[in-house]
Amino acid sequence: MKALCWHGKNDIRYETVPDPRIEDARDAIVNVSSCAICGSDLHLFHHFIPAMESGDVVGHEFMGEVMEVGAETRDLKVGDRVVVPFTITCGECEQCRRGNFSLCERSNRNKALADKVFGHAGAGLFGYSHLTGGYAGGQAEYVRVPFADQTHVKVPDGLTDEQVLFLGDIFPTGWQAAVQCDIEPSDTVAIWGAGPVGQFCVRSAVLLGAEQVVVIDNVPERLAMAEAGGAIAINFDEESVLARLQELTRGKGPEKCIDAVGLESHVPRSLDSVYDRFKQAMMLESDRAHVLREMIYVCRPGGILSIPGVYGGLIDKVPMGPLMNKALTVRTGQTHVKRWTDELLGLIEEGQIDPSFVVTHSAGLEQGPDMYNTFRDKQDGCVKVVLKP
Amino acid sequence: MNLDRRRSLQPSDRLARALGWLGIGLGLYQLLAPRSVTRSLGVEGAEAIVRTCGARGLATGMGALSVNPKQALWARSVGDVMDLAALLALLADRDHPKRGSVKLALAGVGACAAASLYCAQAQTRRHAYQGGRTPDYRGRSGFPRGLEHARGAAATRSGLPSRPMALPSPAHSPGPRFQTTPSRQRDTSGYTKGSDYDY
C-alpha cells in the first residue's frame, strides 16, 4: 500500500510499505477514505518529538471503512464507516473505565520506554513516535486499528467525510480545552493560536456560552476565520496582546486561557522567543514556552489555564511565582476523544456546527509531502489539509 | 521497499543541510585552531579575527540546519562575501608570501558563497511564509444556523453525559469505576498526621 513515511527532519516521503494485517483478535483494518495533516504532525516533521524511526508511517487523524476484523471486535463489522480516535483505548483498564481514555494503561506497547521518559505512560497513539507505541499512522491507504472494538466512532452515511473526520482529533481537542475551562456566561476566554485546534477552541467556547472569546495570532486569514466563528482577534504583529486583553476585560485579565500552540510557539521581536530558540538550538531545552509565560502573566487570579497544545519535553523560565500566587489552575492532557464524541456527533447531526469550515486544502495522498510544506509555511491560506488516499 | 520519489525534502533543503554542517565544521576549526589558519594564509597575528569568523560560521551553520534556514543562509552569504573581500585584499599584495594558499582559499570561499547565495534564494522562495493567494475566510463561521444561534447552544443542551466530567478525577468520571478500597474510603482509625490523608 502507499503511505506517508517519516525519514527525518523536514523529510516526509510518499512510499510503498507492507499492507497491515490483523495481529490480534481485537484488531480491525480500516480502508482510509480521508485523513488529515494535524498541527501536531508538524512537531514530528520538525523532529521535535523524540523516538521517531526512519520509515514510520505518520498521521493520526483519519477515517474510512472497516474492511477486515478480528474475532473479538464485538459490534464492529466489515463495511462500517468509522472515524478512528487518535488515542488508542482498550476500554477495560482503570483509566479507560474512568473515561480517561488518553491515559489508557494497556494500549501503549512501548510502555516501559514511555515510563522511563514520562514516569508513567499514556495511551498508545497512531503515527506519533515509538514513545506512544510506535503504531503505524493513518496517512496511508490502510491502517491496522488495535482495540478496534473500542477505538472507533461509527458515523452515519448522511454526513460527509469532512463533517466527521475531525471527530478523531481536533474537534474533541478544542472541545476538551474549552470544557476544561469550566466556562461561565460572564467569562472571557483567550485562545492563543488560530490554527485548526484554535479554531475549534473558538467554536467550542462560543457553543459553551462564553461572554467573550478572544483569539491571538498573526496570520490574517486565520484571524478572519476565527472572527467568523465569533472571536475577537488580536494580531500580535500589530498590537500589544497584554494591553488589548486588559482593555477587553476592564483591566482584570481573561478568566480562562487556552494554549492551542504548544511547543513551537514563537513571536518575532520577542526577547524570550530569541532566548528559547537559542536554547533549543543548543539542545538545552526541547520546547518553547512563550505562550505559557504570556498566559500565566495575563490570566486573571483564580483563573484556569487549559493546554491542548502539545509539549514533548522540557521548558525553561516558567514563571511559577505568578502561577502560584495567582492561584491559577492548569488543566492539560492528550484528548480523551471517546469521552466527547457522542455529544459532538450529536451537535453535528443537529446542525449546530459543521466542522468542514476549517478545510482549506484537499489533495491526494501522493501530494502529502508537498502539503506538509504548504501547511508548515501557511502558504495559500492553508489552515487544514485533508488527504484522500 | 520501493521508494517513490515524492518527498518533502527538496535539493535546496539538502544543500542547506550540507552548508550547515560545512559551516559548523569550518567554524569549529577556526575557533579551535586559528593559528593554523593564519599561518596557511600568511596573516599571523589575526587569530582573533579568525576566531570571530569561526563563531559566525558556527552560528550560521546551526541556523542552516534549523526548520527554516533562509535567514541563516543569507547571513552566511554576507559572511562569505566579507571573506572574499578580505582574501582579495590579501591577493592584491603581490609580495604576499602565501599567494597560492590565498588563491586556493578564494576559490573555496567563492564556491561556498555561490552555493550559499543560490540556496538562500531557493529557500526564500520555498519558505515564502504566508505566500501565495490570500483567501477570504470571513464567511466560514462553522455554524450552519448562524453565530447568534450558536452562542451558548451547547451550554443549554440537555442530555450531556460528558460535560461536567472535564477533569481526570474519580469524583467526576463517567462510566463504571473501580471501587475505592474500604480502608482508604472509610477506615481512618489508623490515621496519623503526615499520612496519605494529609494533602
State residue A294's pLDDT score: 95
Measured between alpha carbons, how far is residue A388 from residues A20, A156, A366, B19 in Å?
Answer: 18, 19, 9, 36
Residue B47 burial (C-beta neighbours within 10 Å; 0-12, 13-18, 19+): middle
- Residue B160 falls inside a structural domain: no
Residues 6+ apart with CB under 8 A from A345: A153, A155, A164, A167
Looking at residue B160, its pLDDT comes to: 52
The whole domain housing B106 covers: 11-126
CB contact residues (below 8 A), chain A span 360-389, against chain B? 360, 366-367, 369-370, 372-373, 376-381, 383
The closest CB to that of B7, out of A12, A206, A376, belongs to A12
Burial class of residue A212 in the structure, from the number of CB atoms within 10 Å of its CB (0-12 exposed, 13-18 middle, 19+ buried): middle
Question: How many angstroms away from the CA of A53 is the closest CA of chain B?
Answer: 15
Instruction: Please judge whether A199 and B135 are an interchain contact, meaning their C-beta atoms are less than 8 angstroms apart.
Output: no
CATH class of domain segment(s) A2-169+335-388: alpha beta
- Does domain A171-332 correspond to CATH entry 3.40.50.10540? no
Q: Are B56 and B109 in contact (CB under 8 A)?
A: no
User: What's the structural domain count of chain B?
Assistant: 1
How much is the pLDDT for B5?
A: 54
Position B197 scores a pLDDT of 34
A355: nearest CA in chain B?
A: B142
In a domain, B76, yes or no: yes
Q: Tell me which residue in B129, B136, B167 faces A378 most closely, judged by beta carbons.
A: B129
Q: Which amino acid is at B138?
A: R
With respect to residue B81, please indicate whether it lies within any of the assigned structural domains. Answer: yes
CA distance A132 to A310: 13
* A222 reaches B (C-beta below 8 A): yes
Residue A141 CA to residue A240 CA, distance in Å, equals 46
Q: How confident is the model at residue B6 (pLDDT cuts 50, 70, 90)?
A: confident
The one-letter amino acid at A251: G
The per-residue pLDDT for range B107-159, each reduced to its tens digit, is 999 999 999 999 999 999 888 877 888 889 999 999 999 999 999 999 877 55
Cβ–Cβ < 8 Å for A387, A237: no
Å between B180 CA and nearest CA of chain A: 12
Separation in Å, CA A16 to CA A13, A38, B2, B4, B15? 10, 22, 6, 7, 26
Whether B145 maps to a domain, the answer reads no
pLDDT for position A376? 92
Average pLDDT for residues A186-208, to the nearest whole number? 97
Smallest Cα distance from A68 to chain B, Å = 24
Q: Is the pLDDT of residue B163 over 80?
A: no
**What confidence score (pLDDT) does residue A300 get?**
96
CB contact under 8 A, B138 and A228: yes
**Per-residue pLDDT reduced to its tens digit, B17-76:** 999 999 999 999 999 999 999 999 999 999 999 999 999 999 999 999 988 899 999 999
- Decide: B48 and B77 in contact? Cβ < 8 Å: no
In a domain, B37, yes or no: yes
pLDDT tens, position by position, A313-356: 888 899 999 999 999 999 999 999 999 999 999 999 999 999 99
Which cell is A105 given? 494503561
Looking only at the bridges linking them, the beta strands covering A188-192 and A256-259 are parallel
Q: What is the pLDDT of residues A104-124, one digit of tens each?
A: 999 999 999 999 988 998 999
**Domain range list for chain A:** 2-169+335-388, 171-332
CB pairs under 8 A between A and B: 199
Share of chain A above pLDDT 90, in %: 87
Residue B93 lies in a domain: yes
Predicted confidence (pLDDT) at residue B165 exceeds the cutoff of 80: no
- Calculate mean pLDDT across residues A36-56: 93
Q: Mean pLDDT throughout B83-89? A: 93
> According to the model, what pLDDT value does residue B178 have?
38
Instruction: Report the residue count for chain B.
Output: 199
Shortest distance, CA A174 to any CA of chain B (angstroms): 13
Radius of gyration of chain B (CA): 32
Chain A, window 109-168: residues with a beta carbon less than 8 angstroms from a chain B beta carbon:
none
Distance between CA atoms of residues A211 and B6, nearest Å: 48
Distance from the first to the final alpha carbon of chain B:
56
Buried/exposed A249-276: b ≥16 CB within 10 Å, e otherwise: beeebbbbbbbbbbbbbebeeeebbeeb
Facing residue for B142 by CB, picked from A98, A229, A343: A229
User: For position A184, what pLDDT does the model report?
Assistant: 92
